[in-house]
Structure 1
């Protein structure tokens, strides 16, 4: 075991050396003066683009001149270029490429060019009823994706996103061409709501609500469509769960609701959270933010990016965060460090390497306590969430180190090869927790647990090929390949606890002296692994401008191996697989409207019996889920509106009255979703949504009951209003409503609905010619106490302020 620990420490030292190198690049290049965009645009370069398809010409010219050409994909369809040849400036070359197409262009940066239709009203696209316009989807083929994502979903556009960076093996796709419910929290929204953890994003996102908060010390769990999941991906590379997730180095958070088996392999039917890392910028970026994430959590965040060489074939991005101080909860403190770097290298015109490395430490005093209630005891009124319902000496420490690389090779204009790999080392040297047991109304007992060191190693691999071809006038994009993820774990035999002490009154918490826990003389032991292997083939079919389809199938295999501290199998191995098909049909009766219907199946790893169960740690058998969905996506003015009707079923897992965690019956959720994102007027931005759920258990012990922790109604509205008489001053705020939930499987303890209010201000100005943004946000303005679900209290009132300067 000492060898394993030394080897992991060596890898981390090597990674820190890489991050130090990125830091040196950032510092040295930040000192170099950038040539003005006009000068670079005027330099003559020999180019050669043959006459033919405008789409192919765009890709070729972009590669030769290292330009990022941004344009709606509908603009290039059926258009041809006369070709370009000779020594020309980039501006002249683009103009020559567009001769006879009726299109115009403008440089929005030294290497970024926007292609547009001068005859289109307001924005590119066909007009529709009531001022509707076509979805201005950016073409994301080739190596334009980085620039596309960095310019997509900006605050000035109402956070309305056109492109999804990764839809499983399908890679980047237009949101309007996605036959699933997907929403995105882009970079500027994450910044403007001052989100420091996924919980802040889940609060604003129309589809999601937090099930297990990050402040609990456990991995964040999210609830979507009434189901819960830890499942996440990072840049499309899967993983089982993620502790202490940072957002400062993320470009966006993409949320897909519902089944994702065809796209991501074994996963819960709730959906998938994909965290997208920031990539290098081709224009100079230096940004420093000072602020507090609430109470005394002061922090500084530096975000630096730019090109390494004048040609822009290589670029860097560096994010550094240091945070420390108390939260809005008594005695709770967070001390956090993040160093995250990215390097991109355009090896050739068709070959690109992307590399990421990060290291983080997340230390917390007094993680939020877990509550559970004895059968027949109602939750009643929630206690004061700003109090420390744990103990002052409870601590949690998490250290993570991650490396990842992706390689993209465009063999030609029709074939693209993609590969990626990620590995993360997770070390938890300290992990104290408390659980509060309510056995009679108004009183609770408490157990404090001190666990020894545990570790995990996460791996993810993917290799895909995209092949575009036409057959009988039908366009195809065929994707096939392999992807996998695994979790190798080391457990601990050391887990002393205080035993339940109490009872204590729920009117105020009582704190006790830290007990003398026995000395830990043990070492972590290899506790086993979980692996998921997937072989996938999918076809994106375009019959004509109105009809398209997505069809595919994934063979997914789950392999689990569980060991006890004696090295013997703790339970039988599981090694089985199945095919998970998916089929969707899309119809566009108008350019601004997409209708779709889809069917998808998924394989899900069985749940793990929680701490409260008598069979704690037992892994349930894998489950098969099915989903039917119909929906619509419409661009109405500057607002993207989506609706969906869905029907999902899966095996029902629960803890019975004897505290045995088991599977029995089927869980079926039928529901309706509605979202609206974008600019209602020039001054008003909205992000809102409504989810209505009818969830039931069919068969088994709890036939006809509603599953616990499922809210029948979820309604949200976040808005920003720019004052017409004081431009650059924005009033911000949100109203978030969660309907009633059953707190147990018997349906005899119902949690009250709750509504919280957020308010804020944002002001953009300049200091010595440099952009300065001031932000202030108050969450839970009324300081409402509520049960977020049957296990956790909601967050108390929190005030966050920051100042960001860009230079």
Structure 2
């Protein structure tokens, strides 16, 4: 049975990692030169990049098995190769000037160094394996470098389908890789969402509420970690992540029950083959000093086991007056190749995160939003705090039974303890507001997520199938505090400057948190990736999704159908239809039916898209239509479902090298959002911007190692109330940064300086929150 191209590459890391051999230099002499005469030709397009990554891409495009030694290719750059070529011609061009050559060994091609002495003609012992997940780890670590314009070619997890090539996915997806995360000095997911034209922060992490994101105009808490769902992402950290992958649009068949906007998958750093010691010291803005150590390497000489350890300590004031963040992170990962076919991956995370002086939630009661208040001021209270203590354990097993069958299993359990206060500013007159302060007491959540999947590769004649069948689930058991106290509305207070008061004498918390219930989603699914030839493929899938929450228990089938056409290797087009089931929304605390959970909802999406690698740029575009049940707070202050919410839109994104010295990561999303039915028929949904445009660019200055970067981020007008009588103005913010990469005593050193919101604009992020003020971040990263 023919294995997939990704299974057939032994890249630099794998070649060094495994321990017994069947290859020797002397065996290469048996390769038959005459075989080249009958070699097929391929449409090949491989940009200049590190040789290991280039060989990986060539293997993917041709289906060839390429074998080599890690030490041989680890520090070599490959020339660009394109055109209609045989495999041998492509390799000859790719290896030009490297001193290496390629020769056949049976069905494989071996990359070797120039002839050496007889004593050196036998390779170190290497067992060639096809362990997909180890190969995937190296791919992810090699992709998305600043030198390559932050372009990624692989998605680590397309939900239940596992890893796929970015251009092979019939969905709109994008990647924010590690070096881009580092170079923008991202502190939280809010900094990631700022870069992507389809994402906007809805609830910032510095508030006392659950962080959320808006994708394609729909709010949600849609997050996953290494492909495993979790309902919320409290106190999220970035330093232990290899990349962030964003799926725009419905994800029902792929990830289970979720809001229709999209899914954000945070991918953990995995162990490295070579020793990694990286220490970063810096400041995230204000006086938020931090130190971050990123350590990795092999545990054993054969490289069958490895580790990754990320340690963070941060303390100090943010760019907002009287607001502080104190946190510490210990995040460890270990990989162990138990056998040639069986891989175990483990993660353990401890995260303690406390924000003092959290940003306030604004609620306008029949009054239009005026100019945003001063974003540098704290409009809550300095004593209001939100503290999380989070312990997480994760494990994955991947067993490649043979070329035709791979079994995958994963499970995560996440313990979250939270103590927090809340501040709500009620605006009922244009000149003043009242303030409610609430002490919520201790609450607990236990999150579980798991999956059990089988990938089966079969052929029916000339048609190849990759069938995926399995089960996924996630749940949230929550424990509420019996003690919650509120001051009720206090004030009024002026918009001129914040008014701080003494901490109220709240009664002490009594009793431990009590079990409040469980939200559970279970999904049984089957999918078939059908490949007719190099140009045409179809993805069919259906999941049986069950939601249990409160008093309801509802199941529904969610189908997915996609057609992918690749007229050329560098160009993909697709058309897709997908449905999804989602949990109903929860009424906000300001509604008369506060915290009441609505019924589950069905969402539908139609989409056509295109993806093209042009030179060193990845260009993607999509036209989509999404609709779901409409939830809103009606004129009687009751949060309810009535009518349908429909978003028709178009998006375009570009990432990579526009020129050798100029990198761009940019995009635009244009929406036509409407409410159909209900008393609000024809209105636009609240907090949906019709146009969002973002441009981030880096330019390599003539001074070696010195780069200048900047970003422009435009958010169009958005309605701040359901009746469309209160409209927030459009806003454009700008960032600037400079980076200098050099060496000290032969060790890489990178210095970074970033200024966010350079003009220090005050603006409404949405109807509930004020945007972030100007902040200055800087850091020094040393690798040794």
Please report the TM-score for the alignment, with normalisation by the length of structure 2: 0.87
1:433 is aligned to 422
Is 1:768 paired with 2:759?
A: no
Is 1:450 paired with 2:439?
A: yes
Counterpart selection for 1:599 from 557, 574, 577? 577
Shift, 1:657, TM fit: 2.0
CA distance in 1, matches of 2:556, 2:189: 32
Is 1:71 paired with 2:55?
A: yes
1:440-589 aligned within 5 A: 440-561=429-550, 573-589=551-567
1:310 is aligned to 301
Is 1:242 paired with 2:233?
A: yes
User: Contact between 2:88 and 2:102, CA under 8 Å: does it hold in 1?
Assistant: no
1:666-677 aligned within 5 A: 666-677=644-655
Shift, 1:493, TM fit: 2.2
CA distance in 1, matches of 2:271, 2:507: 49
Aligned length: 710
1:407-426 aligned within 5 A: 407-426=397-416
1:787 is aligned to 764
Show CA shifts across 1:312-353 (max 9, x none): 000000000000000011100000000000000001111000
Shift, 1:89, TM fit: 11
User: Contact between 2:416 and 2:444, CA under 8 Å: does it hold in 1?
Assistant: yes
**Structure 2: gaps of 5 or more residues:** 1-11, 37-50, 74-85, 105-129
CA distance in 1, matches of 2:465, 2:583: 33
Is 1:681 paired with 2:656?
A: no
Counterpart selection for 1:149 from 140, 149, 163? 140
Shift, 1:141, TM fit: 3.7
TM-aligned CA distance change 1:335 to 1:44, over 3 Å: closer
Shift, 1:446, TM fit: 0.4
CA distance in 1, matches of 2:759, 2:544: 50
TM-aligned CA distance change 1:78 to 1:772, over 3 Å: closer
SS in 2 for 1:453: strand
Shift, 1:180, TM fit: 0.9
Shift, 1:616, TM fit: 1.1
SS in 1 for 2:136: helix
2:330 is aligned to 339
CA distance in 2, matches of 1:616, 1:229: 18
CA distance in 2, matches of 1:188, 1:100: 32
SS in 2 for 1:737: strand
TM-aligned CA distance change 1:216 to 1:91, over 3 Å: closer
CA distance in 2, matches of 1:474, 1:599: 22
CA distance in 1, matches of 2:66, 2:314: 56
CA distance in 2, matches of 1:506, 1:76: 60
2:45 is aligned to none
TM-aligned CA distance change 1:803 to 1:323, over 3 Å: same
Is 1:738 paired with 2:729?
A: no
TM-aligned CA distance change 1:81 to 1:655, over 3 Å: closer
2:780 is aligned to 803
User: Contact between 1:79 and 1:101, CA under 8 Å: does it hold in 2?
Assistant: no
CA distance in 1, matches of 2:103, 2:575: 32
Shift, 1:45, TM fit: 5.1
1:591-630 aligned within 5 A: 591-630=569-608
1:676-755 aligned within 5 A: 676-723=654-701, 725-755=702-732
Shift, 1:587, TM fit: 0.9
SS in 1 for 2:759: coil
Shift, 1:392, TM fit: 1.4
User: Contact between 2:578 and 2:606, CA under 8 Å: does it hold in 1?
Assistant: yes
2:619 is aligned to 641
CA distance in 2, matches of 1:194, 1:583: 39
1:568 is aligned to none
Show CA shifts across 1:402-461 (max 9, x none): 000000000001211000000000001x20110001101021100110111000000011
1:401 is aligned to 391
CA distance in 2, matches of 1:651, 1:791: 22
1:248-397 aligned within 5 A: 248-375=239-366, 377-397=367-387
1:24 is aligned to none
Show CA shifts across 1:548-574 (max 9, x none): 11111011000113xxxxxxxxxxx11
Shift, 1:183, TM fit: 0.7
CA distance in 2, matches of 1:410, 1:115: 28
CA distance in 2, matches of 1:468, 1:500: 63
Shift, 1:519, TM fit: 1.9
CA distance in 1, matches of 2:59, 2:89: 10
SS in 2 for 1:189: helix
**Structure 1: gaps of 5 or more residues:** 1-36, 55-66, 93-98, 118-138, 562-572
Show CA shifts across 1:161-206 (max 9, x none): 1000000110000000111110111010100000010000000122
Shift, 1:659, TM fit: 1.6
CA distance in 2, matches of 1:461, 1:350: 21
TM-aligned CA distance change 1:780 to 1:258, over 3 Å: same
TM-aligned CA distance change 1:44 to 1:365, over 3 Å: closer
SS in 1 for 2:547: strand
SS in 1 for 2:22: strand
Please report the TM-score for the alignment, with normalisation by the length of structure 1: 0.84
Shift, 1:242, TM fit: 1.2
CA distance in 2, matches of 1:498, 1:406: 47
User: Contact between 1:71 and 1:116, CA under 8 Å: does it hold in 2?
Assistant: no
CA distance in 2, matches of 1:466, 1:402: 27
Shift, 1:143, TM fit: 2.7
1:167 is aligned to 158
TM-aligned CA distance change 1:349 to 1:271, over 3 Å: same
